[in-house]
């Protein structure tokens, strides 16, 4: 029983941390492409810079930033850094 409770607690806390990062304006590579664009439209500038015009494609609905970047041969950490810098600059 303890293991089940611990597992639920861990999952809930992990989810809350992801939500807190999102609310704080931080983009992470595990966030969905659509989620990023909806919350931070300025990210489109970085997507365009690296040739990720996939926001309108079906894969954008379920793909995260890391997967999308890797498909296009781009380092996802570089994109995350650039998007977060844009968000801070526009804050």
For residue 91, pLDDT beyond 60: yes
For residue 5, pLDDT beyond 60: no
In CATH, which of 3.30.830.10, 3.20.20.140, 2.40.40.20, 1.10.3910.10 is domain 27-90? 1.10.3910.10
Domain segments of the chain as ranges: 27-90
Alpha-carbon gap, residue 31 to 83, rounded angstroms:
12
Q: What are the distances in angstroms from CA 82 to CA 4, 43, 49, 50, 89?
A: 39, 9, 10, 11, 10
Tens-place pLDDT, residues 38-86: 899 999 999 999 988 767 777 778 889 999 999 899 999 999 999 999 9
């Amino acid at each position: 029983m303890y293991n089940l409770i611990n597992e639920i607690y861990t999952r809930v806390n992990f989810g809350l941390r992801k939500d807190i990062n999102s609310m704080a304006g931080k983009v992470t590579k595990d966030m969905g492409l659509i989620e990023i664009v909806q919350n931070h439209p300025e990210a489109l500038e970085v997507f365009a810079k690296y040739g990720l015009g996939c926001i309108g494609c079906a894969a954008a609905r379920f793909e995260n930033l890391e997967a999308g970047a890797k498909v296009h041969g781009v380092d996802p950490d570089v994109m995350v850094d650039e998007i977060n810098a844009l968000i801070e600059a526009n804050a």
